[in-house]
Structure 1
Amino acid sequence: MYDGGKRHKHTGAAHLIRSNLHRMCASGVLPSWYAELQHKLVASNRPRYFRLVCICTATSAFVMGIIIGLMIPMYLLPPSAASALLHAAGSRPLNRSSSSTVVPPVVLDRTVFDTVSFVPAVQQPPVAAQPSAESTAVNSSLIANGVYWSDTVEMALPQGYDSTSASEWRKFVRKARVIKMEEGCGRMQNRLVTFDNGSTSCCRYRQNVDQIQGEIFGFYLGRYILGLPNLTPTTLSRVKPQSRQWASVKAQVSLAQWATEEKAVVMTKFVPLLLSAYIPTFLRPYDRRLHPPDVQDTPDVDASELAQWSDLVVFDYLTANMDRMINNMYNLQWNPTMMDAPAHNLAKDASTGLLLFLDNESGLLHGYRLLDKYEHYHKSILNAVCIFRRSTADAIKRLYKQNNVGELLRSAFKSSDPEFVDILPSLPEKNVKILNKRIARVHEQIVKCESMYKST
């Protein structure tokens, strides 16, 4: 009687489950493979309790899959992300309110891309106006002496930052008290620092000393040696929570988990009102080219911005920076519209039109270690450019002739940040040798272009 009662009990439970499964499959709640599974189990010679266990297991797995895959994201993700997930799964939105409104599918706008973390993403710039009849004649005044931007273009360039700006920033950072420290400057351990006069700075902290070297020596190279006005004032600093300068943010320093005693951080002046910067149309195609005839034959050229791009190409080739054009070129294999995206780690001052060469930490060290993988991208961009600023070309010729860039970098380090000479290593000699080879390659490109477009 006991065994029979037990079998009868299991039989009744199995019958109830099968009936419910049939009903759920017929109504579309459960997939049809549940019914097929049930029929196979019934047709087999397995004991009834075994069939019951299999059906219960499959049902539980399906229900748990729904809970994990859909229900949990609905409560953990933002509403817009949860809605996108539901539409991607091809299901109805699970509306937690009493309203029956169906949320429309999320359409990804492929014209909006991520850019520098503290620069708001903006739409593509408006299409240029139709060329005027005078445009081509005007363009003839943009080039001088074959391959150099003319005085007209040079005079139209934004003023940017000079060595005086860098010196004043360095003195200010050494003395000003920090009153606020918050996230908002790129990577997780970076911080946006506010000083007592209201000025702000991106404070870059890295466990890896290579990135600190890349940032500061890249600044020395661009600002003091090449004379580029596009690098925001940058200096080294040392965070001392017990000092008067940092005492107000001692708790925030602790929360940031900085090892501060023997580490240098980089302080870069924060510039507000920045816009995304886009790669010029001359440099986007596979057969990219920025030569004198291209500029002279194209109406309504923004020569002021192109002149800054020619400096950027030289600077990024010397440092082997991968985080701007190389980033876009490399990602073309996954996204064919990447060249229409903003250039990473590049921004445009909305008030002046100045291009800011930001976040140069991957240059000179990390970038050099990856030359085997990315050098063909670097060469492709350099080979595409045959117009230069005269001052930049003169600096390259001088460095090539004197072969002294290592000495100049060490001198800039000692004069600008002497108190960090014993804390931060100088640029390694092997990296200086690579830099000299890259200077020679840029010099070769300038000479080649001069021979191609000699002024008549």
Structure 2
Amino acid sequence: MTDGITDEHFEQFLHKLQMLSVAEMHAPQWNRCGRPNNQFILLQDQTPLCARYRGEHVKLLHGELLSFSLSRILGLDNVPIVMLSEADTRGHQWHGMNISGAGWNESSIVALIQWVHGLDSERSRVKMPAVILDAYEHQQVFSHHHQRVLLLNANNLTELVQWSDLILFDYLTGHYDRVASMQDGADREQRPSVMHENIRNLRKVWQTGKLWLIDNESGLFDGYELLYHGGEMGRKFVRFHRQMLATNCVFRRQTVRKILELSRLPEPEEALLNYTADQDPLYKKLPYANEMILFKKYFHVRLKEVADWIHKCQLR
């Protein structure tokens, strides 16, 4: 599919964010940048962005940026670009902007997130593909040996491999507010039909079927805090992630290669941190979050678990 983030698009986008100033700031809406302290902004050339302000909850900025960096390392092209910005009204980027009116403190670091057109309509909502849902509900594994593979057309296969990437990505990041939140709802309400509903924080460009994994602030820091320090609730979400991972053995070859390469590094967590700091110089100015300890302790563990599952699938 051609409407994702190419390397050239990524470099052009970063250059634009570094060079252009903010021309307009607008209050968020439920389908446009979300939380009250976020802002929908326009650059000088009218490029739209979401500016995410999280105040003292810097772990969420860490999670958003590191999750995006991980998507780049894995070769995923459907996680919106994220770059940090210092909201300093004395500098060129935010000069003349009323950041206090948005509830921001001067010189706060915010995350600027790519606005992907076409994701704010009802037609952009996404449900789980029938083959994955069926495997999940019957505690089976969907693989290339499955008879239903022969019945899938090109569009179905494209959708399936995008979902495969999603499942692997959310397992690695510990994302709890996409598929896992649907699993939680079905479990709490004792209503399996929840899994048939629109998936949270997942959208598609309906004209092409391109999936976009939006709102990744819960990844890696906040997600790991829930999974490993969340008591009984955390153990439930660990189970949800494992159940979802175990539904699928159909992978994109490039994604598998990237995951296995990363898993072989002696310190993959440091590789991700270094990559992020190289791509975004402001990352070193982002205040420390205590969840960094959990990230450094468990990222390689989850990476190994995914690599082990891939190896099991290869032996099937």
TM-score by length of structure 2 reads 0.86
Q: Distance in 1 between matches of 2:303 and 2:169?
A: 10
1:194 match: secondary structure: strand
Superposed, which structure 2 residues align to 1:39-50 within 5 Å? none
Say if 2:130 is the partner of 1:266. Answer: no
Contact 1:166 1:234 in 2 (8 A): no
1:361: Cα distance to partner?
0.6
Question: In the aligned structure 2, how far is the partner of 1:227 from the partner of 1:316?
Answer: 15
Q: Is the 8 A contact 1:346 1:358 kept in 2?
A: yes
State the partner residue of 2:211. 355
Indicate how the Cα distance of structure 1 residues 280 and 403 shifts in structure 2: closer, same or farther if over 3 A, else same: farther
Give 3-state SS (helix, strand or coil) of 1:370's partner.
helix
Give the conservation status (yes or no) of the 8 Å contact 1:205–1:258: yes
User: Per the alignment, do residues 419 and 370 of structure 1 end up closer, same or farther by CA in structure 2, a change over 3 Å counting?
Assistant: closer
Q: Which moved more, 1:162-171 or 1:190-199?
A: 162-171
Q: Distance in 1 between the 2:12 and 2:178 partners?
A: 28
2:143 to 291, 295, 302: 291
Matched, 1:393 2:256: yes
Q: Which amino acid aligns with 1:358?
A: I
Distance 2:11 2:284 in 1: 18
1:197 CA drift (Å): 0.8
| Post-superposition CA distance 1:54-112 (Å, at most 9, x none) | xxxxxxxxxxxxxxxxxxxxxxxxxxxxxxxxxxxxxxxxxxxxxxxxxxxxxxxxxxx
Unaligned runs of 5+ in 2: 228-234
Asked whether 1:249 is paired with 2:97, we answer yes
Task: Give CA deviations for 1:426-455 in whole Å, capped at 9, x if unaligned.
Answer: 882441230101111111111111111xxx
| Pairing partner for 2:78 from 226, 230, 248 | 230
TM-score (norm 1): 0.61
CA shift, 1:340, in A, is: 1.8
Q: Is 2:201 the counterpart of 1:345?
A: yes
Aligned partners of 1:348, 1:323: CA distance in 2, in Å? 17
- CA RMSD, aligned part only? 1.9
Shift of 1:215: 0.2
Between the aligned partners of 1:243 and 1:201, the Cα distance in structure 2 is 19
Q: Report Cα offsets for 1:20-45 as digits up to 9, x if no partner.
A: xxxxxxxxxxxxxxxxxxxxxxxxxx
Q: What is the CA–CA distance in structure 2 between the aligned matches of 1:350 and 1:319, rounded to whole Å?
A: 26
Question: Using a 3 Å threshold, how does the CA distance of structure 1 residues 234 and 422 change in structure 2: closer, same or farther?
Answer: closer
**Which residue in 2 is equivalent to 1:161?**
5
**Residues 165 and 233 in structure 1, CA contact (< 8 A), matched pair in contact too:** no
Change (3 A) 1:343 1:308: same
Q: State the match for 1:411 in structure 2.
A: 274
Equivalent AA in structure 2 for residue 296 of structure 1? V
Report the counterpart of residue 311 of structure 2 in structure 1.
447
Does the residue aligned with 1:170 lie in a helix, a strand or coil? helix
Where 1:318 maps in the other structure, the secondary structure is helix
- Whole-angstrom distance in 2 between the partners of 1:247 and 1:404: 41
- 2:22 maps to 1:173: no
The answer to whether 1:370 aligns with 2:226 is yes
Matched residue SS, 2:219: coil
Structure 1: which amino acid aligns with 2:253?
A: R
- Aligned mate of 1:188, from 13, 16, 36: 36
The 8 Å contact of residues 220 and 413 in structure 1, kept in 2 or not, is answered as yes
The secondary structure found in structure 2 opposite 1:231 is coil
Distance in 2, matches of 1:327 and 1:218, equals 18
Among all aligned residue pairs of Structure 1 and Structure 2, give the percentage whose two residues are the same amino acid: 29
Q: Which amino acid aligns with 1:321?
A: H
Provide the aligned length of Structure 1 versus Structure 2. 292
Query: Structure 1: 5+ residue runs without aligned partners?
Result: 1-156
Aligned residues of 2:63 and 2:220 also touching (Cα < 8 A): yes
- Structure of larger gyration radius: 1
- SS of equivalent residue, structure 1 residue 403: coil
Which amino acid in 2 is paired with 1:256? Answer: A
What's the counterpart of residue 68 of structure 1? none
Looking at structure 1, the residues matched to 96 and 209 of structure 2 have their Cα atoms a distance apart, in angstroms, of 36
Equivalent residue number for residue 217 of structure 1: 66
Compare relative contact order (CA 8 Å, sep 6+) and give the higher one, 1 or 2: 2
Matches of 1:396 and 1:296 in 2, distance apart? 24
CA 260–352 in structure 1, closer or farther in 2 if over 3 Å, else same: farther
Determine the structure 2 residue equivalent to 1:318: 172
Return closer, same or farther for 1:249/1:330 CA change in 2, 3 Å cut-off.
same
Q: 2:315 and 2:271 mapped to 1: Cα distance?
A: 30
Q: Partner of 1:123 in structure 2?
A: none
Letter in 2 for 1:326: A
For 2:212 and 2:106, how far apart are their aligned partners in 1?
29
Q: Quote how far apart the aligned CAs of 1:366 are.
A: 1.1
Report the Cα distance in structure 2 between the residues aligned to 1:420 and 1:220, rounded to whole angstroms.
12
Q: In the alignment, is the contact (CA less than 8 A) between 1:213 and 1:361 conserved in 2?
A: yes
Q: Out of 226-235 and 290-299, give the one that drifted further.
A: 290-299
Aligned-pair distance for 1:239?
Answer: 0.9
Match of residue 284, structure 2, among 390, 406, 421: 421
Partners of 2:66 and 2:92 in 1: CA distance: 29
Kept in 1, the 8 Å contact 2:54–2:60? The answer is yes
